[in-house]
C-alpha cells in the first residue's frame, strides 16, 4: 500500500527484456534507505518487488501483465521515474490509499503554466470513466492528485510547484502514456452494488441515499 506522495525522482539505468517480462534497474538514494530484498517500491505508480538493493540503486522484475497494463514497457534508459516506498503503520497518509495496481494507461495531453502552478490534462480510456468524479482522487504516475475538471474522455489536475518539480510530470511530452489508478473505494462500492442487486438484503441506491452516501 502507498500514499501517492513521491519520495524521490529516480532514473532508469538498465532495462532488459527477459522472455515475456523484463528486469529494470533504477538509480536511487532515498528509497533504498532501510530497504531490503523483497520490499515493495512503487515505480511510476506500479508496485514492484525490490531485488539487488544497493546504496544507490535497486532492481525489479516486471511481468508481462504489468508491461501490458502499465506504461513501464515504454520507458527508456535515462527516463525519470517517481518512487515511493510502501507505507508503514507510522506513515503519514498525506495523499490517498494507492495499491500500486494500475487500472489503465492514460495519455498526457499537455500542461499549461499559470504563474508558479500548472494545469495538466490527461486523457483516459472509457473503461475507467465510471470511477472518476470531480474533486475525486486519482493516481497519475503514482502521484496522488485531485481531479479539478472532468469531461467525457479527459480530466485536468492542478499541480503545485513542488509536485511539478519533484516528480516526472515536468518531463512528459504530449502523447506520452501515463499510469492511472482510480480510487479503490469506487471499485469496492461497484462490486458491492453488483453483488447485492439480486439479494433482498443487498445494497441498493435507495439504501445508500438514506445513509447519505449518494
Encode the chain (214 residues) as per-residue pLDDT tens digits: 999 999 999 999 999 999 889 999 999 999 999 999 999 999 999 999 999 999 999 999 999 999 999 999 999 999 999 999 999 888 888 889 899 999 999 999 999 999 999 999 999 999 999 999 999 999 999 999 999 999 999 999 999 999 999 999 999 999 999 999 999 888 888 888 887 665 556 666 677 677 676 5
> Could you tell me what percentage of the chain is helix, strand and coil, using 3-state DSSP and rounding each to the nearest 5?
20, 40, 40
b/e per residue 92-128 (b: at least 16 CB within 10 A): eeebbbbebebbbbbbbbebeeeeeebebbbbbeeeb
Report helix, strand or coil for 69.
helix
Q: Among the residues of the chain, which ranges form H helices?
A: 64-69, 161-166, 184-196, 205-210
Q: What pLDDT is recorded for position 92?
A: 81
What pLDDT shows up at residue 203?
A: 61
- Contact of 134 with 150, CB cutoff 8 Å: yes
Residue ranges per structural domain of the chain: 8-85, 104-188
- CB count within 10 Å of CB 193 equals 14
pTM (2 d.p.) = 0.89
pLDDT at residue 176 in the model: 97
pLDDT confidence of residue 90: 82
| Equal CATH topology for 8-85 and 104-188 | yes
Sign of CA dihedral 49, 82, 130, 175: negative
User: What are the C-alpha distances in Å from 22 to residues 15, 35, 49, 157?
Assistant: 7, 21, 13, 32
Q: What is the DSSP string of 90-147?
A: T----S--B-S---EEEEEEEEEEETTEEEEEEE--GGGGGG--TT-EEEETTEEEEE
Cβ atoms of residues 179 and 173 within 8 Å: no
pLDDT at 193: 80
Nearest to 179 by CA among 68, 93, 87, 84: 68
CATH for 8-85 (3.10.20.30, 2.40.30.20, 3.20.20.70, 3.40.50.1860)? 2.40.30.20
Level-2 CATH architecture, domain 104-188: Beta Barrel (2.40)
Amino acid at each position: 500500500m502507498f500514499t501517492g506522495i513521491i519520495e524521490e525522482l529516480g532514473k532508469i539505468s538498465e532495462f532488459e527484456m527477459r522472455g515475456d517480462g523484463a528486469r529494470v534497474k533504477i538509480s536511487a538514494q532515498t528509497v533504498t534507505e532501510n530497504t531490503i530484498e523483497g520490499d515493495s517500491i512503487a515505480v511510476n505508480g506500479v508496485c514492484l518487488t525490490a531485488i539487488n538493493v544497493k546504496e544507490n540503486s535497486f532492481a525489479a522484475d516486471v511481468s508481462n501483465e504489468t508491461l501490458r497494463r502499465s506504461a513501464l514497457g515504454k520507458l527508456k534508459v535515462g527516463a525519470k521515474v517517481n518512487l515511493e516506498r510502501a507505507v508503514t503503520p507510522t506513515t503519514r497518509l498525506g495523499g490517498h490509499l494507492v495499491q500500486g495496481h494500475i487500472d489503465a494507461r492514460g495519455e498526457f495531453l499537455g500542461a499549461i503554466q499559470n504563474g508558479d502552478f500548472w494545469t495538466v490534462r490527461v486523457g483516459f480510456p472509457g473503461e475507467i470513466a465510471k470511477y472518476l468524479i470531480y474533486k475525486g482522487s486519482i493516481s497519475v504516475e503514482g502521484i496522488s492528485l485531485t481531479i479539478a475538471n472532468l469531461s467525457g474522455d479527459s480530466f485536468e489536475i492542478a499541480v503545485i510547484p513542488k509536485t511539478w518539480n519533484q516528480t516526472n510530470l515536468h518531463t512528459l511530452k504530449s502523447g506520452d502514456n501515463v499510469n492511472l489508478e482510480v480510487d479503490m473505494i469506487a471499485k469496492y462500492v461497484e462490486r458491492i452494488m453488483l453483488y447485492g442487486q439480486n439479494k433482498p438484503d443487498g445494497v441498493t441506491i435507495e439504501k445508500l441515499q438514506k445513509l447519505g452516501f449518494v
